[in-house]
Chains A and B, each alone.
Chain A
Amino acid sequence: MTIALLVAAFIALPLIVFRGKSLARYLAFEIATYAIGWILWSLLKPDDVYFAVVVFAVLKLAAFSVALANAKEVRWTATRAMVIAAIVYAFVIAAQMRQLPDGDEPFYLLITESLVKDHDRDLSNQFRDLAHSATGRTDLVPQIGDPRGPHGEQFSRLEPFLPIIMIPGYKLAGLPGVLATIALLAVLLVRQTIRLLEDEGIDDGTIRALFPLFAFGPPIVFYAARIWPEVPGALAFVEAVRGIRQRRIKRAIPAMLFLGLLKVRFVLIDLFLVLQWPSRKRSTHLAVIALIPLLLLAIISGSALSGHSLKELHVTNVIQYEVGFFGLFLDGMSGILFQAPFYLLGVFALLYWREMPAAFRIGIIGSLPYIVSLVPRAEWHGGWSPPLRYITVFMPVLFLGAAAIWQRSRPVAFVVAAALWTIGLTIHGLAFPWRLFHIESGENFIGEWLSTLYHADFSRLFPSFIRINPAALVASIAFVAVLLFLRFVRVPQVLVAPLLAIAMLIGFRYALQPADQIEFEDAHVIHNGGSLYPPLYTAERFFHRSGWTLNAGESMSFLARAGTSRLEYAAGSPARIELDGREYKLPGTRQEHLSETVYLTHTGRVTLRCLDGSASFDRMRHE
């Protein structure tokens, strides 16, 4: 059934946009792809049929996108793009429903259920009767920071506006209806973003070439059918930017109000958007737009800041700013470079500030207070959520910047590289939606996968700003250098792919060598018993020093370098271990971690065995 619907969808897509010879040629190509697909199916005989279907569907969507970019006889409008997005998102909903709502999602849904069934925000009875909840989650408990009422009511710290929006969908079809509501907003987001680009003078060819990277690439595609306020927020943001750019207050004010109501932190975006308002009544509008959401929140939830504190905006540690700032761009698990590389073009557009479309400048200025308040927070990476959670709202403006850069200098090599990576990310996220959530361990999935394959530390190749590693330092310096270099020097694009191949080879060879620092919970370590510390689903796990706990008789092996190293550990009572054939006695620690000097006689695979007692091993640094 699903395959029949997919075939119907893929026949419908070209009929929407192609005409004449382009349509005939594409339909012939369409038939050929099924024949090739059948051949590949026969050759590979995939064990995971669902994964194979997702791979095939995403590759076909990519092929359609390439054809759309290059076709000569095309009927193209923002509405047609919206229809294409709607068809694709219908399948995204089905894909995302393979996983139960996670992160904040089930709590938003619980609020909707409470509003519909009890006409209140008290979730006490919802938590008591999770078996009848559309969340499908029976393991839910109130989140950290959820307020309690004077009569024992259990409220949620999440803003209630998104749950209110979801009420019609929920009443119609439960969880699928809720996801369809979000997908509907995502479809509108695609349309309005294309309208934004058209307003700013981006030509049709550019929009056609790039729109799939926006609509069907991360992060939008991963939030398009999930219960987060990010996609509705992006829609409100793009409408607000258009309203200000076109000086249409009737368009801008509702959008800004919508934005502020969705999430109280989005009020920060409103502030700098209103400041760019070309009107003498600016201060009045500012007050209205900022105060109404806060006032409504105060009335509904009793707290204008909905569990947030103004102290969050006051961080004096410069290092935290640096970590968050570069992390948003470069982190292997949560940064733009690895999770949505296409948008780096939008970042690059900042270097051509004056030449960029006015809406881009308005949007970027509007985002500044939000970004400045976000980067020093410990949770800059988004916590337990799909990647790029906190900056998804700005993607339409980054897309505009990227499109302007494309129109200006056609960086084909970069866009092809970004597109290939995006295809991989999309396949991965749709086939395994639960993997969109990743513990903040400092690793990412590609690093973990390669580490598991080769039992060597590939994760150290990927910059981590959550558990800062040397690659993060190198990447930060390289990022600034490359941005400045590219601003003034034009690299022959024909060299990009070969250089990338060479870099991959060098990285591969380097990763096979033992690392200077071994993180014991990482995927490259072969664990024979023991357990992850702190446990996987510990709330705000990134605040803890994590590691691997071994009890007597358990062991782990890993690649290490010969010579002296410092072994960092925590142990409630003294423990005895054996490493590389030598025995060490580890004194007990209290709350803190201690380090023990160890000596390895050879470079290669060594085994650490716990002989007596129990200890949690954090890392081992070569000296």
Chain B
Amino acid sequence: MLLPLTTPVDRALPFITVVVIAIAFLCRRGCRRHTEAVLFAVPLLVGCAICFPDPHTRLLGYGIIVVAAFCGAFWAIEEWTFGNCAGLTLAGIALLRWLARERVEVWREVVIVIGALLIVAVMKKSPLAVTVALATAFLTPGIPTRTLAIPFVVAAIAWVVQVELVVVPAFVTAVMLILFPWSGVAARGITYFFRAAPAQRMAPLNFALKPGESIDVDVPGDAKSVAISAANAVRMKRDSVAGTLDGRPLTLRDLADWGYMRRPQWWRSRNRLPRVPAGIIRGYGYDAWVDGAGRIPLPPHATRIHIAADPHLPADARLQVEAFER
């Protein structure tokens, strides 16, 4: 092992490097100077891997470098052709969808790529075409199978869009690509990155309350909140009450189904990110997801709390009291 690599994204660094080199050579047609400049993303990636021991900072560093290379190409490419657009789209899809995944269903990915290339083919060749294709591929979960139609629907609409923009597509692409190490979370719950606040879990509770069940728990001295999620609640509406904390109703705006953001569940889920998410990122790349725990603040000066699961929950649903947090 050449570098101190700890995450699947780190281990995919050679692949990311190849993608960056491909992006650099796509700029070659306009001006060779730009290729030479974009190629410096490669030593920067190596430098990033060496210099940042914290995985979160390091992976974000990869994201920033990739964005610089990718969006740099938007300005560097002087003559936009289908080849350039398709190349950039493929590079972007590779970064956003194929990286660091445990299992890739090849046929689904092939269909999505075909759809994305179709978008590029029908639109005016410009950065906008790349961004629309990329965003479509990014937001297409692929599960259930009917979602594979999304790129083709977008291609049909994009047919009529014949404008040329640079800055706006660059911005949208940058937002997507910065988060490529956790592209699954970015695609299915991007607000998590801005709403989640770090908190330390201190006392695991691990209660799964059946409908109508309740518990009383002593509150540790320095606890400020409790993390609660639901199970088997993906089809519940957001305003549904899942339970109560000291009589205060907890809706599916305060918490969510624990696995609602997983790719197979997400499309059919009615849940969204809890108001104050307490979940953590699990996995990398397009498989990354965040569990649906919500952070529920404790009543002031509470020494004991009463948590109850709503009796009207579906029979197989559970209210999961996960842990106290500092």
Question: A420 CA to B47 CA in the complex, in Å?
Answer: 12
Question: A28 CA to B171 CA in the complex, in Å?
Answer: 10
Quote the shortest CB–CB distance from A451 to chain B (angstroms): 12
Residues 470-525 of A contacting B (Cβ, < 8 Å): 493-494, 496-498, 500-501, 504-505, 508-509
Quote the shortest CB–CB distance from A213 to chain B (angstroms): 14
Question: A418 CA to B174 CA in the complex, in Å?
Answer: 25
10 additional contacts (CB under 8 A) given A496-B36, A505-B3: A36-B174, A42-B194, A412-B33, A412-B36, A413-B36, A420-B44, A453-B53, A497-B41, A500-B40, A501-B45
Question: A45 CA to B293 CA in the complex, in Å?
Answer: 21
Contact indicator per residue, chain A 8-42, by CB within 8 Å of chain B (1) or not (0): 00000000000000000100110010011001101
Residues in B lying within 8 Å of A, measured CB to CB: 2-3, 17, 21, 32-33, 35-37, 39-47, 50-51, 53, 57, 60, 64, 75, 166-168, 170-171, 174-175, 178-179, 193-194, 198
Quote the shortest CB–CB distance from A236 to chain B (angstroms): 36
| Cβ-defined contact, B171 with A35, below 8 A | yes
| Cβ-defined contact, A497 with B3, below 8 A | no
Quote the shortest CB–CB distance from A461 to chain B (angstroms): 12
Quote the shortest CB–CB distance from B176 to chain A (angstroms): 11
| Cβ-defined contact, A416 with B171, below 8 A | no
9 A-B pairs with least C-beta separation: A497-B39, A28-B167, A32-B171, A501-B43, A42-B194, A500-B43, A412-B33, A501-B42, A412-B36
| Cβ-defined contact, A42 with B193, below 8 A | yes
Given contacts A43-B193, A450-B50, contact A498 B174 (CB under 8 A): no
Residues of B within 8 A of A500 (CB): 40, 42-43
Question: A417 CA to B33 CA in the complex, in Å?
Answer: 13
25 A-B pairs (CB sep. < 8 Å): A25-B166, A28-B168, A29-B167, A29-B170, A32-B167, A32-B171, A32-B174, A36-B171, A36-B178, A39-B193, A40-B64, A43-B193, A44-B60, A412-B33, A413-B39, A413-B40, A449-B51, A450-B51, A453-B53, A494-B32, A497-B40, A500-B40, A500-B43, A501-B17, A504-B47
| Cβ-defined contact, B171 with A498, below 8 A | no
| Cβ-defined contact, A420 with B175, below 8 A | no
Tell whether A605 is near chain B: CB-to-CB under 8 Å.
no
Residues of B within 8 A of A128 (CB): none
Tell whether A70 is near chain B: CB-to-CB under 8 Å.
yes
Which of A417, A493, A497 gathers the greatest number of chain B CB atoms within 10 Å?
A497
Quote the shortest CB–CB distance from B20 to chain A (angstroms): 10
Given contacts A28-B167, A43-B60, contact A416 B36 (CB under 8 A): yes
Quote the shortest CB–CB distance from B4 to chain A (angstroms): 8
Residues of A within 8 A of B32 (CB): 494
Question: A44 CA to B198 CA in the complex, in Å?
Answer: 11
| Cβ-defined contact, A508 with B2, below 8 A | yes
| Cβ-defined contact, A504 with B46, below 8 A | yes
Residues of A within 8 A of B171 (CB): 32, 35-36
Question: A497 CA to B37 CA in the complex, in Å?
Answer: 8
| Cβ-defined contact, B170 with A32, below 8 A | yes
| Cβ-defined contact, B36 with A36, below 8 A | no
Pick the contact of A509: B2, B41, B168 (CB < 8 A). Answer: B2
Question: A428 CA to B235 CA in the complex, in Å?
Answer: 52
| Cβ-defined contact, A505 with B39, below 8 A | no
Quote the shortest CB–CB distance from A199 to chain B (angstroms): 27
Residues of B within 8 A of A496 (CB): 36, 39
Tell whether A410 is near chain B: CB-to-CB under 8 Å.
yes
Residues of B within 8 A of A28 (CB): 167-168
Residues of A within 8 A of B57 (CB): 44
Question: A500 CA to B42 CA in the complex, in Å?
Answer: 9
Question: A494 CA to B46 CA in the complex, in Å?
Answer: 17
Q: Which residue of A lies closest to B172 (CB)?
A: A32
Question: A450 CA to B53 CA in the complex, in Å?
Answer: 10
Quote the shortest CB–CB distance from A415 to chain B (angstroms): 9
Quote the shortest CB–CB distance from B198 to chain A (angstroms): 8
Residues of B within 8 A of A45 (CB): 198
Residues of B within 8 A of A416 (CB): 36-37, 40
Quote the shortest CB–CB distance from A185 to chain B (angstroms): 34
Quote the shortest CB–CB distance from A593 to chain B (angstroms): 35
Residues of B within 8 A of A42 (CB): 193-194
Q: Which residue of B lies closest to A70 (CB)?
A: B75
Which of B39, B46, B174, B179 gathers the greatest number of chain A CB atoms within 10 Å?
B39
Residues of B within 8 A of A501 (CB): 17, 42-43, 45-46
Residues of A within 8 A of B166 (CB): 25
Which of B46, B57, B178 gathers the greatest number of chain A CB atoms within 10 Å?
B46
| Cβ-defined contact, A497 with B36, below 8 A | yes
| Cβ-defined contact, B36 with A508, below 8 A | no
